Amino acid sequence: MSQRFAVEWTEVAIADLGELIDFIEQEAPGAGESVLNRLEQAAQRLETLAHRGRVVPELARFEVRLYRELVVRPWRIVYRVSPGCIHVMAVLDSRRDLEALILERLLRH
């Protein structure tokens, strides 16, 4: 039997989802729930396929291979695999520059 992982969402990832759904609801009322379900289901599938996502390419260039991503177009679910647990770290729009997003988040705090 394959190993099962608990899927846990960080506060940052939950905030990302909230902002994303709010934006979608402004553009297309009623569409947010469908997007939310797609993203949550994709993340939940990591429960049995933890390493299915690729290493985040922008971070791999700097030899950072701790974070993986699952692409649910046009979004990227960034996560980290720990023993027995998947930590969903962020949900990002793939049309944005990841390096700029990371810098923006670092400067916010």
Helices (H) and strands (E) in the chain, counts: 4, 5
pLDDT per position as a tens digit, 39-98:
999 999 999 999 999 999 988 888 889 999 999 999 999 999 999 999 999 999 888 888
- Domain ranges (residues) in the chain: 6-108
The model's pTM? 0.89
β-bridge pairing 54-55 and 6-9: unpaired
Which residues is 9 bridged to in the sheet? 88
Domain spanning 6-108, CATH class: alpha beta
